[in-house]
Structures are given as structure tokens and as C-alpha cells.
Chains A and B, each alone.
Chain A
Amino acid sequence: MTFKFSRTVLAGLTAALVASVGVVLPAQAANLRMAWAQDAAGLDPHTQPAFSSLRLLELIYEPLVRHDAALDVVPAIAESWSFSDDGLTLTFKLDPNAKFSDGAQVTADDVKASFERLLDEATAAVARSNFLSISSIEATDPATVVFTLSQPDAPILVAMASINAAILPAKAIAEGAVATKTLGSGPFVLDSWEPNSREELSVNPNWAGGEIAYDGISISVLPDETAILASLRAGQTDFALINDPLIATLVPNEANLQLNAVPGLAYNVLQLNPARAPMDNLKVRQAISCAVDRQDVLDTALVGEGKVTGPLTMPAYAVDPSTLFCYEQDIEKAKALMAEAGVDGFTAKVIAATGEPPVASAEAQVLQSQLAEIGVKLEIELMELSVYVDRWLAGDFDMAVAQNGGRADPYPMYNRYFTKEGNLQKVSNFADDEIDSLLQQGRVETDLAKRKEIFAKFEQRITELAPWVWLSTSNTYTAQLKTLSGFEPSATGTLFGLTKVTLGQ
């Protein structure tokens, strides 16, 4: 009885299998089919810091200004802006064509309401600390917004170019609907979102940024990047985000695929904790910096995908890393420094998060073998991300392997760690009068050439004091079918460049 039944089932299954391989799925209306492994975690642009959330929200909302591919600030909702001579007022003129996807004009009142929401502590906005110099916001007419500042604040413009400072409709803010319903002025409208499964976006007909050559984007969440590669290979996906450098290196082997790699702004770093002996000794920290072979860490742990970097990763401020303190491995010097410090080797625990970034544990292992040469014995503690974050925020580690986010401007990138009032001072456990004053000078200086000088000094000094050992930047990757054209990648990782894409045949 059982046997007969199972035979029919088997026959049925075989038939289904044969049929399925033969069936060609009908193409949808010209939609870009996109895949990523990490889905957005939420829809409120003011409270979501995760890269995966920003990538989605950048397609739906717009800030006042945005970064172009060269990381210069260019118009978005604002068509022009100007600082007063004393640097205490910042005036924006809004683009008259900027409209929300429901057709309503983006007005100065929307800008005012958005920044008031950002600054309200109850919102728990992630970018709030970048805007504390704002003392008042005034909508002088529907297309003009004036920010009055308590002190000159050159980096504030860069901070405004983040989707974490997106302009939301005043109406949606008043209704408290921001976290559940999206209504933005960006190139696309979010039609549906099934978290960790799929998103459907259609082109926003009211977008002021020009025509888009296709009808929408269908995003699939494929948590395994091997499957993303297979899906691209089979032509079922047009465009994908890739996080794992190992997968990225396989993309160029496929005849129908193209890999776009851009050095990112985030940096991989070995954080030392100067609050704990013997890392409180400058010479010990310098010895560790000299003992590390940064190129070797990059080649081994990141399979060469990235580049050795100093603290400043943005192209406008970055210097040749070989000019920085001990950027060439020098074991002799390291041993001499250890001897001067009177430290004869020690054991330290280094914390790292599993899979965040994918290269963290490999980096820890390479560093372990390099530092063993000067008698520093590393014990690696691998932990889940949330556990790691708790320990990291509490400064509860001897050393930490980390990947910290970058910014297009050095001040907001490092003030949190290295100014005396920085709100992550507990994480770095490091303060220095000169570093503090250099960062403050860089904050108020508006002249770009002078700022470069100031931050070059900052970079020399911080690598010499070696609270941290900066290692490398990773690449941000996207992979696409060769039939697609026109995508402009960006160091910030934004997918805004998709608005320029045409789907080939």
C-alpha cells in the first residue's frame, strides 16, 4: 500500500521537476531586480544607523544636500546655500521642483520640522550630536531656511548630506507616521516591504532629479552571498550588493558579470586601550604599531581587497600612509621601544565580532602572529555582535579589532572618540591637549586648504601617539550583469547611482 502511494508521489515530483526547469518565468514590467544579504532594519531615516537601512532609505528620501562620487557636497532638496562671513548663519534656498511622492511641494516648514524632530531627544535621532551647534531654525519664506549657529561649524554641511538628516513632510511628523509609512521626495516610492524577504519600489513620478529609465526596483533579500552570486550567474538578478571580499573576488570569473569596487570610508583598526597597563605606556603602544605589518594584514585577512590607510580615509584629506609614524613594519625598532619601556612581553585579550565585518576574525589571527614576534601574546575573544557592542561601548577590552564607519569630513569622524567631551571618550580612553585643540580648530575653520593642514597635523600626531593602530579600508562592492549600464558607485556606499542606470537586453 505504502509502496504504491510513494511511487505515484515520486512520479509526480519528477514531473514537477522536469516541468519547472522547462518553464521560463515571464519578465516583469521593466524592473531592476536587485539582491542584498542584509535587509533594512527599519524605515525611520532619523533613527536607523545601519548601512543596510541607509541603502534603502537613500532611494526613498532626500537630505538638503548630498555627496557626489568625488564626495563633494552637491544640491539635493536645496538648490543653493551660503554661510555668513562670521560663519554663524547658514542659509538654504530650496529647489522649487522638489516634491514629495504625493505631489506636495517640499517647503521650508518641512525642513524646519525635520530638524526640530532630529534635535528632540525623544526622537533618539542618531545624527543629533552633529547638529548641536544649531541654536534656531527659521523659515523666512516657503523656499528659504536660515539656520543660526552658536559657533562656526564647517562640518555641519557634510553632516546634512546624510540620509540620517533626511527631510520628512511636516504632516507625517505631526501624525507620528514616520516609522511605519514612508513618504519622501527621493527617486523611488516604497510600495511594499516584507522585512528580511523583499521590497518593491516604483519610480516616484514627482521626483525633481530627472527621468529614470525603468519602472521600479524589486529587491530580494538573499542572506547567503553564494546564492546571490548564483542568482546573478543565472541572470535572475541584475544588480547586487556584496559584503564578503571572498565572494567579490569570484565575480570577475563570470563572463556575464561585472564587479564595481570602490574603496570605502570605513576603516579597519586595532584599538588599544590606553586605560590598561601596559598600553598606558606610549612606547609600548608605539612598539605595537611598529610590529604590525599592515600590508600583510590586508593581503592575508582581506585577500588584498582594500588599501592600507591612515586615520583619514576620505580622498580630500587622505595622505600617503608611508609618511605616517612606523607605517613600514620595523621589528628592530619595536623591540627597542619595548626595551625602553621596560616591558618584557605581556598577554592581552583582543575582542572581535563574528562576521562583523566578515574579515574581523582573520585580522585578529594575523595580528596575533605578528605581535608574537615582540613577545605580545594575544588571546582572541570572538563574540556575537550585540555582546561585542556592549563590551566595546563600555571600553571593557585590552584591545579590539573594529571596523568603524567613516565620514566625508574628519571632524564628525573623530570628535566622538578623541575630543575631551566626545561621547565615545569611554571607548578610546584617550585624550591629548594638542589633539583636542586641532580638532576644535578644524571644526571652526571654513577654508579648505587650512583645514587640510590642520587635519594633516592631527593625523601625524594621532598615529605617533598610537592609541589605535589604523590598518586598512575595505572596498564596498556591487556586482551587476554586463547588460546594465550607467551605475555610478560611491565611496559612501550609497546606491543613489542606480537612478542613472539603463537596463540592457
Chain B
Amino acid sequence: MNYLARRLLTFPLILIGVSLLVFFSIRMIPGDAITAMLGTESGLLTPAQRQALAVYFGIDQPVLVQYGRWLTGVVQGDLGISVTHGRSVMTIILERFPLTLQMALMSMVIALAIGIPAGVLAATRAEKSTDVVVRIFAMLGQSTPGFVVGLLIIYVLSVYFGYIPTMGSFVPFWVDPVANLAQLIFPAITLGFAFAASVTRISRSAMLDVLSDDYIRTARAKGVPKRSVVWHHALPNALIPVVTLSGVEFGYLLGGAVIVEQIFALPGLGRLTLEAIGQRDYALVQGCVLFIAFNFLVVNLLVDLAYAALDPRIRLGAR
């Protein structure tokens, strides 16, 4: 518990650091909301017009004043207003998050459901042909870029099946479960493809390590059936690096997957952040990055707690 409390105490400090970093780096990029909106036409503005726009976009004050105002809002749970959407940043993020979360969960399920069995299979048949086949697939999966897989899926579906998943808008699960799954399964496969490959490789090497441990030899000597040795004695320990990898990967996925969202035209967090940067929508960029950082922290904490559950030897707080 005291470990938990200490971990939770560092949360706000990290988030303040992140907010400072984002706040000033987004302002260091050349161009502001005015040039992003007007492009080359911004050269036609008179000084009075430019001033009016700066007031409208809230960039007429000194940067430190802007930061102070923004931080005061954040502490009160107000992330500000997005100038491009004309609505509160929090509302927009919460609208986009269900899609991102669902896609991350589906990709993770796909990756673990394929990766762990494949990794275990390869480890128990080390250096046999099964192992080689699994390893080749894992290499392929890790080295094929997501946009290639995504475009291939779209191409095959549209040319050979005359079908294409719903694009442009998101159908929530509670509105129409079938349409929702039909829409998200292909992007999830695209994301899960590379993810599954890394899970396969990690679980294979972890399993190989564990299988040569003393306690496994003991279990075998006691006459425990082979299947039980693999799945009950070895697997929980071999899962620790898999949990680490999945945690990090899941944290990334919660930040949205920009390329897959672009290809499948899904309104998720990744595209939201990218578009906000392009349009120099400062409040939205800050809100998104803060939200993503917060998710990362939470996922990391959960991963650390999962270690303890998997391996009693890890004593939290004794570090």
C-alpha cells in the first residue's frame, strides 16, 4: 500500500513535467494557429486583423501567462477549449477514447491469443521445423510496416470481396455490436499483426530460459505430465517479460495508432493529436498529450502490480 501511495504521489510531478515540455515545444515550432488556418493568405492580414485573430485564438498574451492560465484550468479539471472544434478539449478526448481503447484491447487480445501459444509451441519444439516456421512468421510480422498490412487488407477486401469496413465515423459497441466489430476487426488485425510477432519472440525466449531452470527439472523428476509442466509450472514465470512488453505496447496503443487510423479513417486519439498539431490547436495538443501520458502512467502501475501477482518472489516496496 505504501508502495502504491508513493507511486501515486509521483503522478502529478511527472504530468507537470510533461505539460511543461509539451506547452513550450509546441510553441517552438514555427507557425501558429493563424498561419495554420490561413496558410499563405495570412500575409494579407493587416496588423489589426492579426491582433484580432491572436485574441480569438488566445495567443496574444505572453507564453508564461498563457501557461499559468492553462494550468489553473487543468487543476480544476478544465483542459480548455479547442479552437478548431469549438468545444471543450475534455469532451472531444472522451468522445474519441472509446474507439482507441477498444482497438487497443482487441489488438492486444489478438496478439496474446496468437503470440503466447505460438511462442510456447516454438520453445517446446526448439530447433525443429515447427520452431523455424514460427520464427519466420515472427520475423515477417515484425518487419512488415503497419500501413502495408492495412492497405493490403483494404485492397483484398475491396477488390475480391467488394466489401469495405465502415470508414469515417465510429459505430460504438453499445449501438450496434456487429457493425462495431466489423469496423474494428481489420484495424485491430493490422495492429495486432506486428504486436503478435513480438509477443511470440519474447514468450519463446522466456519459455526457453524457464524450461532449463532447476524447479522445472524437479517437477519433471517428480513425474508431472509434460503438458502440466509447460502450462502450469513454466508459463507463469515465462509471462513476466511478456507482461512488460504488453504493458509498454498497450500504453502506446492507448495513444492511438496514427497510421492505422489514417488508413481506416477512424476518428481515434492518434489522428486527433496529429491534426491538432497540424492546425496548431494548442489546447487540444496539450490536452491529448497529457491524457496519453496519464494513461501510460496508469498502465505502467498496473504492470508492476501484475508482476507481484505472477511472481510472489517480487516484493513490492522491498526495493
The reply to whether the CB of B201 lies closer than 8 angstroms to some CB of chain A is no
Give the nearest-CB partner of B151 in chain A. A226
A-chain residues with CB within 8 Å of residue B84 when the two chains form the complex: 41-42, 195
The answer to whether A122 touches B40 (Cβ under 8 A) is: no
The answer to whether B178 touches A23 (Cβ under 8 A) is: yes
A10-50 to B contact mask, C-beta < 8 Å, 1/0: 10010011011101010000000001000001100001111
The reply to whether the CB of B69 lies closer than 8 angstroms to some CB of chain A is no
The reply to whether the CB of A233 lies closer than 8 angstroms to some CB of chain B is yes
Q: How far is the CA of A471 from the CA of B284 in the complex (A)?
A: 39
The reply to whether the CB of B271 lies closer than 8 angstroms to some CB of chain A is yes
B17-42 to A contact mask, C-beta < 8 Å, 1/0: 00000000000011100011111111
B-chain residues with CB within 8 Å of residue A392 when the two chains form the complex: 40, 43
Q: How far is the CA of A126 from the CA of B34 in the complex (A)?
A: 12
- Asked whether A390 and B35 contact (CB < 8 A) given A221-B168, A416-B44, the answer is yes
- Asked whether A16 and B265 contact (CB < 8 A) given A222-B168, A387-B31, A423-B43, the answer is no
Give the nearest-CB partner of A129 in chain B. B44
- Asked whether A42 and B37 contact (CB < 8 A) given A16-B178, A20-B182, A195-B84, the answer is yes
B-chain residues with CB within 8 Å of residue A416 when the two chains form the complex: 44
- Asked whether A404 and B40 contact (CB < 8 A) given A16-B185, A198-B169, A387-B31, the answer is yes
Give the nearest-CB partner of A403 in chain B. B40
The answer to whether B31 touches A389 (Cβ under 8 A) is: yes
Q: Which listed residue (A123, A197, A234, A386) contacts B30, Cβ 8 A?
A: A386
B193-227 to A contact mask, C-beta < 8 Å, 1/0: 00000000000000000000000000000000000
The reply to whether the CB of A175 lies closer than 8 angstroms to some CB of chain B is no
Q: How far is the CA of A393 from the CA of B154 in the complex (A)?
A: 41
The answer to whether A19 touches B178 (Cβ under 8 A) is: yes
The answer to whether B168 touches A427 (Cβ under 8 A) is: no
B-chain residues with CB within 8 Å of residue A35 when the two chains form the complex: 167-168
The answer to whether B117 touches A234 (Cβ under 8 A) is: no
The reply to whether the CB of A502 lies closer than 8 angstroms to some CB of chain B is no
- Asked whether A227 and B267 contact (CB < 8 A) given A16-B178, A21-B161, A390-B31, the answer is no
- Asked whether A389 and B40 contact (CB < 8 A) given A20-B182, A121-B48, A122-B52, the answer is yes
Give the nearest-CB partner of B109 in chain A. A9
The answer to whether B158 touches A233 (Cβ under 8 A) is: yes
The answer to whether A49 touches B182 (Cβ under 8 A) is: no
B-chain residues with CB within 8 Å of residue A427 when the two chains form the complex: 40, 43
The reply to whether the CB of A252 lies closer than 8 angstroms to some CB of chain B is no
The answer to whether B49 touches A124 (Cβ under 8 A) is: yes
- Chain B residue total in the interface (Cβ 8 A): 64
B157-175 to A contact mask, C-beta < 8 Å, 1/0: 1110111111111100000
Give the nearest-CB partner of A40 in chain B. B84
Question: Min CB distance, A92 to chain B, in Å?
Answer: 25
B218-257 to A contact mask, C-beta < 8 Å, 1/0: 0000000000000100010000000000000000000000
B-chain residues with CB within 8 Å of residue A235 when the two chains form the complex: 162
The answer to whether B178 touches A126 (Cβ under 8 A) is: no
Q: A47-B53, A49-B37 are in contact. List 7 more A-B contacts (CB 8 A).
A: A2-B116, A23-B179, A42-B37, A197-B168, A198-B168, A222-B168, A390-B35
B93-135 to A contact mask, C-beta < 8 Å, 1/0: 0000000000000000110110011000000000000000000
Question: Min CB distance, B309 to chain A, in Å?
Answer: 13
Going nearest first, the 9 A-B pairs with the smallest beta carbon separation are A220-B168, A386-B31, A20-B182, A6-B113, A230-B158, A121-B48, A197-B267, A222-B265, A124-B49
Give the nearest-CB partner of A50 in chain B. B39
- Asked whether A49 and B31 contact (CB < 8 A) given A128-B49, A416-B44, the answer is no
The reply to whether the CB of B181 lies closer than 8 angstroms to some CB of chain A is yes
